[in-house]
Amino acid sequence: MKIGIVCYPTFGGSGVVATELGKALAQRGNEVHFITYSQPIRLDFFNENIFYHEVNISNYPLFEYPPYESALAGKMVDVVKYAKLDILHVHYAIPHATSAFLAKQILKLHGINIPVITTLHGTDISIVGRDPALNPIVTFGINNSDGVTAVSEDLRKDTLNTFKITNEIEVIYNFVDLTRFYKQKKDHFKSLICPNNEKLLVHASNFRKVKRVGDIIQAFAKIRQEVPSKLLMVGDGEERQKMEELCRNLDLCEDVRFIGKLDAIEEVLSVADLFLMPSEKESFGLAALEAMACEVPVISSNIGGLAELNIHGETGFLSNVGDIDDMVKNAIFVLKDENLPVFKQNALKRAKQFDLNLIVPKYESFYKSIMKKMAK
Ligand code: GMT
C-alpha cells in the first residue's frame, strides 16, 4: 500500500506513535509518505520505502497567523496526486482532520477519492478540542473521516460523550517496539547515577501542566525518606523551571537530575526501577508502556486510558489524581526488594501485549476494510 501519514513531528506522543507506525509499515513493505512541517523526531535514518514531504508556509507580512491548514491541505493534494497514495492517515484531529477533508474535496475534482483515516490521540479531544471555538471543527473532522481510531477505550468513550459523533470509532491501542525498548545491560550507567545502589525513579514527558510534574517531586521527597533513591527527570517544557525551583526549595538537588530531552530514552529506562506518571489527563500513556517494556513498573494516576495499560497491583499501582500520599505508599511497596522483581516481570509481560507486531497489522486491516467499503 502507499500510505500518507500526517502528524506533529515533535516529541509529543501522537507524533511518536505516527512516526513509529510509519516506520513499521515501511518495514512491512508499504510505501510511506510523511507530510509534516519538519522532519519527525524519530525519523533520522534512510529507508527506501520512506519519503518525507515538508509543508512550507508562505509568510506574507499580511499574515499574523500563517495559514498552516491550507498549506497542509495543499501539500496533501500534491502528494496524494503525484505519489499516487492509496490512503491518507492523519494523527491528531486538529487541524489535520479538517485539512484532510479539504484535500479530499479538491482531489475529488481530479477524479481521486482518497480514503482519510483520523487517529485521535488525547489532548485533541480532552483539552484542545473542548475549546468551544474548536468543538465544531473537531466534530466535523471526525464525522467526515472515512475511518476513525482512538488509542484507548476511554478516549473513544470520552469522544462520544463530548462531541456529536455520527461516525464509528475503532480502538487500536498504542504499541511498543520491543527490539528497541528492552532492558539493556547498562550497569556502568546505573552505578554513575546511583553510586550507593540507590533505587532509580524516572519520569519522562513534555513537562506540560497536565503532567502534574510537581506531584512527582513532592512524592519523591517523601519516598526518599524511606527508600534511598534518585530521580531522573527526562524531557523539557513549560513547567521545568518551576520544578527545578521546587527541588531547590525542598533541598532535593543532590538526588534529582533534570537531563532534558533525550531520544535514547530506552538507555535510561534500562536502569530504572520505577516510572512515575501522575498526569491529570492521559488517553493512553505511551511513555509508561515504553518503561514497562524495559521492565519498569509504573506508579500512575487512574485517569483516562491508564487503567487499560497499568494493572493495579500487578504492573504497578494507580491512584486518584493528586493523591500524592497514596502514590508514595504504593511506590515504597513496589520498591521493596522482595516485591520489585515480580512487578518488573509483570510490567514486561503486560508490555508484550502491546507489541508493535501485534498492533501494526490491526492498522493495515483497518486501512483495507475502509478501502473495501469505499470501493463498493
Ligand atoms: O501528552 C502528550 O505527551 C502529548 C500528546 C500528543 O498528542 O502528542 O499525547 C497523547 O497521545 C499519546 C499517544 O497516543 C498518548 O500516549 C498520551 O496519553 C496522550 N496524552 C494525553 O492524553 C494527555
CA of 224 to the centre of ligand 1 (A): 29
| Dihedral angle sign, alpha carbons of residues 203, 206, 308, 345 | negative
C-alpha cell, 138: 473537531
The tens place of each residue's pLDDT in the chain, 376 residues long, gives 999 999 999 867 899 999 999 999 999 999 999 999 998 888 877 889 999 999 998 888 898 899 999 999 999 999 999 999 999 999 999 999 999 999 999 999 999 999 999 999 998 888 888 899 999 999 999 999 999 999 999 999 999 999 999 999 999 999 999 999 999 998 888 999 999 999 999 999 999 999 999 999 999 999 999 999 999 999 999 999 999 999 999 999 999 999 999 889 999 999 999 999 999 999 999 999 999 999 999 999 999 999 999 999 999 999 999 999 999 999 999 999 999 999 999 999 999 999 999 999 999 999 999 999 998 8
Q: Which residues contact 71 (CB under 8 A, 6 or more apart)?
A: 55, 56, 57, 58
d(CA 299, CA 331) in angstroms, rounded, equals 7
- How many CB atoms within 10 Å of residue 66? 12
Q: Which residues pair with 232 in a beta bridge?
A: 202, 257
Burial 180-219 (b: 16+ CB within 10 A, else e): bbbbeebeeebeebbeeebbbbbbbbbbbebbbbbbbbbb
CA distance linking residue 343 with residue 333, whole number of Å: 10
Ligand 1 centre distance from Cα of residue 205 (Å): 10
pLDDT at 154: 97
Could you write out the DSSP letters of every residue in 45-68?
A: S--TTEEEEEPP----TT-SS--H
Q: Which residues line ligand 1 (CB under 6 A)?
A: 12-15, 17, 92, 121-123, 126, 151, 174, 205-206, 210, 281-286, 304
Rounded alpha-carbon distances, angstroms, from residue 280 to 20, 92, 203, 276, 309: 25, 19, 15, 13, 16
The residue behind cell 512524592 is: 219
Residue 124: predicted pLDDT: 87
Q: Which three cell numbers stand for residue 261?
A: 530531552
The C-alpha angle 349, 350, 355, rounded to 5 degrees, equals 90
* Ligand 1 mean position, distance from CA 324 (Å): 22
Q: What is the pLDDT of residues 304-356, one digit of tens each?
A: 999 999 999 999 999 999 999 999 999 999 999 999 999 999 999 999 999 99
Which residue, by CA, sits nearest to atom 5 of ligand 1? 13
The protein residue whose alpha carbon is closest to atom 20 in ligand 1 is 282
DSSP state of 266: H
**249 contact partners, CB below 8 Å, separation of at least 6:** none
Neighbours of 140 (CB within 10 A): 15
What domains are defined for the chain?
Answer: 2-175+355-375 (3.40.50.2000), 187-354 (3.40.50.2000)
In terms of Cβ atoms closer than 10 Å to its own Cβ (0-12, 13-18, 19+), residue 58 is exposed
Q: Residue 3, Cα to own-chain centre: how many angstroms?
A: 20
| pLDDT tens for each residue of 128-167 | 888 999 999 999 999 999 999 999 999 999 999 999 999 9
Ligand 1 atom 23 nearest Cα: 282
Please, are residues 26 and 50 in contact by the beta-carbon 8 Å criterion? yes
Nearest to 151 by CA among 245, 284, 33: 284
Handedness of CA 134, 138, 143, 145 (dihedral sign): positive
Phi, psi of 298 (to 5 degrees): -125, 130
**Cα–ligand 1 centroid distance for 197 (angstroms):** 33
Among 5, 6, 11, 14, name the best residue to mutate to test ligand 1's pocket (greatest count of ligand atoms within 8 A of Cβ).
14
Instruction: Please give the pLDDT value at position 41.
Output: 81
Q: How far is the CA of 183 from the centre of ligand 1 (A)?
A: 24
β partners of residue 28: none
Helices (H), the chain: 13-27, 68-82, 96-108, 123-126, 135-143, 153-162, 187-193, 213-226, 240-249, 265-269, 286-293, 324-335, 340-351, 356-375
